[in-house]
Amino acid sequence: MIITPNGKIVLQQRDTNPNIVNPGKITMFGGTIKTSDSPETGLKRELFEELELNIDNFEVKKLNTFLKTKELDGTDYIIHVFLVKNVDLDKLKLHEGAEFVCDTAENLLKNPKITRITKLALLDFVAKTTTLS
């Protein structure tokens, strides 16, 4: 989950191509971890591929791990969610998805196009941010 200096969260509006995962939905950036990757290595590779974002000089923290299930999501899959803080939206180059969606977590949670896992991550982010305040 990418967070701007003013605390807004940057997500992606997925393409409407029916052959991709979550067509037309709003979701986090990221992708599949290769067999040889740690979650952190996969995060670094995916964000560079999708956004040309090199996260070496950013604060990165693990938010949580979520489980996709065959029953709810069509597949069993572990999702590692990290927070990458203080990223300037204007410096990102979108290589995947239709457009950026950038707003507060509270406003994003009201959007019916948010995927189930993204919603869980946003709810966790809000709960942890509120607890830390």
CATH of the domain at 88: 3.90.79.10
- The pLDDT score that the predictor gives to residue 96 is 86
- The pLDDT score that the predictor gives to residue 132 is 56
Please identify every stretch of the chain with a pLDDT value under 50, giving residue numbers as ranges.
133
Residue numbers of the domain that contains 63: 2-132
Q: CA end-to-end span of the chain, whole Å? A: 19
- Rounded CA-CA distance 46/19 in Å is 20
Is residue 5 a contact partner of residue 102, using CB atoms and an 8 Å limit? no
Tally the domains of the chain.
1
- The pLDDT score that the predictor gives to residue 131 is 65
- Looking at the DSSP bridge assignments, the partners of residue 68 are 77
Instruction: Note the pLDDT tens digit of each residue in 45-75.
Output: 999 999 999 999 999 999 999 999 999 988 8
Say whether 21 sits in a helix, a strand or coil.
coil
Percent of the chain exceeding pLDDT 90 equals 77
